[in-house]
Amino acid sequence: MTRTLLLLGTLWVGVLLGLCGCQSLEDEIAENETKAKAIIAALDLYQQTYGMYPDTLEELSPVFIYRVPLTADEEEFQYRNYDDSELGYRIAFSVNSNYGCGYEAKFEEWECSPDPE
Amino acid sequence: MGTTCILDVATPLTMVLAETTSQDSIYYLHGLDLVAQSDGTTIDYLAYDGLGSVRQVLDDVSVPLLNQTFDPYGNLLARGGTGESRFGFTGEQVDANGLVYLRARYYQPGMGRFLNMDPSRQEMNPYQYGFSNPIDYTDPSGLIPIECMIDSDSDECLDARFRPYIVSREQWGAREPVFEYCYEDFYGEECIRGEDVFWEGLYDADCNPDGYAPYEDYKPGQTLEEIIFGAVIHHSGNTNDMTIQEVQNEHMDGNEHMADIGYHFVIAKDGTIYEGRDIGVRGFHVTAANTGRVGILVVGDFEPGDWLGTYPNDMKISNEDPDIPTSNQIDSLTALIRYLDVIYGLRLVEGHNDVNPDTRCPGNRLEPYVVQLDSQFGGE
């Protein structure tokens, strides 16, 4: 009986978290990075095709990616083409008002940090 | 009668810009080296040999006005022509008595030695000039020989030529980096380590990837020249006229609990450049884009009125008293960016809002200079 109640309680908490859309910082970052992987792959394809990166992510759709995904918060990923063959581009997203993550093509690596201001 | 000199002391090696006597004046035009001299009506150009010695003075149609040659220790071997220049062996000033002025002390070419001991006490033989190898070494500071031929691109040489005067951490009394934040609450002392996202801590690839990251640990095998690609310029905003110590205290004791000051350099209103975080360590001055970007704070509020709140109490609450960057700040910023470009090869000079568009830093009164510096020093 106790075990059943515990199980039901756990399920209920899970349902509540799902309903309110609550997600831990780590989960949200992981989800956004996974979504961004598709964009990064499409950018690489674009670059191989045209020898440069697009000025906006919209230019990837629909040929290189069917639809540019949004972040977990339904925001657009920030994108910047440096117009520099060594630097390439940068993709970034905010997780909340004072925390964000960015991917520099030069380093092929994500960096996350709070807003220092 | 004496001679009055105007000096540029913001350069690594103090340079003469003008000399004036009661009769006349000579103005010196500097590019990366001394390029030309002018008496106010004509301009004469200087031509150097590989050691940087002035071998010719040319007029504006390249006719030689002066030819001179030196032996390896700087003794004048031959001289001809009607032109004049106070600059000779290794491009340094030669006094009327034949002594070469090397800033910390005089060099006597006839003896091939300095007249005074090395004040830095770094050399085994304190009177020796250029490790007794004047073909490969010069000593423009009089303190330490450098292997610095003209056009040499060794780090040591570039550093000596382009590094502006920077007040070191030791000189301004910087606090050492701190990697553990402790506070006392109802239950006693609690310590927070770097895995807390609001506390920087020390870099750890698995546990604290956002932490204070010396590049040798974070990107082993890569040189700083390979990693550093940009400079980001900030203003201090509403907090306005902060000292370097106040900036460091705010960063380390404020909400972020940074391990150290977040910027690599701070330029005060009088133009003094202070060394901040070690340049071999990732900065903490923009959101999620600190790797490879050098952070430079220009002290001042260059967009007054962008924040009209009343908290904290010391913040500005009106848009009066507009700040503009001082000419000393702009000169120092330009010298610093030039130096970083020479040493690391900058590809971008950005304002904070180029990286994080939701901020107005570095302010609309500084942004035009950022754009200008990017066009001058950024790019491939």
Partner residue facing B290 (CB), from A94, A109, A111: A111
Mean of the pLDDT values across residues B209-222?
93
Using the predicted structure, report yes or no on whether residue B309 has a pLDDT greater than 80.
no
Which is more confidently placed, A87 or B161? A87
Mean of the pLDDT values across residues B55-82?
93
Question: Looking at CA atoms only, how far is residue A46 from chain B in angstroms?
Answer: 22
Q: Confirm if A64 and A48 have CB atoms less than 8 A apart.
A: no
Domains and CATH numbers, chain B: 4-162 (no CATH), 222-377 (3.40.80.10)
Per DSSP, the three-state class of B78 is strand
B315 touches chain A (CB under 8 A): no
Query: Is A114–B229 a contact, with Cβ atoms under 8 angstroms apart?
Result: no
pLDDT at B192 (0 to 100):
65
Question: Looking at CA atoms only, how far is residue A1 from chain B in angstroms?
Answer: 38
Which is more confidently placed, B207 or B300? B300
Chain B residue numbers touching A98 (CB-CB < 8 A):
287
Give me the sign of the Cα torsion angle B101, B104, B105, B111.
Answer: negative
Burial zone of B88 (CB within 10 Å; 0-12 exposed, 13-18 middle, 19+ buried): buried
What ranges in chain B are assigned the alpha helix state H? 155-162, 169-172, 215-218, 224-227, 244-253, 327-344, 352-355, 367-377
* Cα B115 versus chain centre, distance: 30
Question: Looking at CA atoms only, how far is residue B186 from chain A in angstroms?
Answer: 27
Task: Give me the total of CB pairs closer than 8 Å, taking one residue from chain A and one from chain B.
Answer: 67
Task: Give the rounded percent of residues in chain A with a pLDDT score beyond 70.
Answer: 79
Q: Is the ipTM of this complex over 0.85?
A: no
Q: What residues have CB less than 8 Å from B346, skipping those under 6 apart?
A: B228, B229, B230, B231, B337, B340, B377, B378
Mean of the pLDDT values across residues B238-255?
88
DSSP-derived secondary structure for B135-194: TT-B-TTSSS-B---TT---HHHHHHHHPPPEE-HHHHTPPPP---EEEEETTEEEEE-T
Rounded distance between C-alpha atoms, residue B39 and residue B16, angstroms:
14
Query: Is B287–A115 a contact, with Cβ atoms under 8 angstroms apart?
Result: yes
Average pLDDT, chain A: 84
B residues 39-78 closer than 8 Å to A (CB):
none
Q: Give the tens place of pLDDT for each residue, B160-212.
A: 777 888 899 999 999 999 987 766 767 776 666 655 556 788 888 888 888 89
| Structure token digits, residue B242 | 């902060």
Return the CATH class of domain A23-114. Answer: alpha beta
Which is more confidently placed, A111 or B195? A111
Give the range among A2-6, A67-71, B125-129, B148-152 with minimum mean pLDDT. A2-6
B363 touches chain A (CB under 8 A): no
* Cα B239 versus chain centre, distance: 25
How sure is the predictor about A1, in pLDDT bands with cuts at 50, 70 and 90? very low
B128 touches chain A (CB under 8 A): no
Task: Give the rounded percent of residues in chain B with a pLDDT score beyond 90.
Answer: 58
Which is more confidently placed, B299 or B151? B299
Search chain A and give the residue with CA nearest B379.
Answer: A84
| Structure token digits, residue A30 | 């992981």
Global confidence as pTM: 0.73
Using the predicted structure, report yes or no on whether residue B83 has a pLDDT greater than 70.
yes
B residues 12-31 closer than 8 Å to A (CB):
none
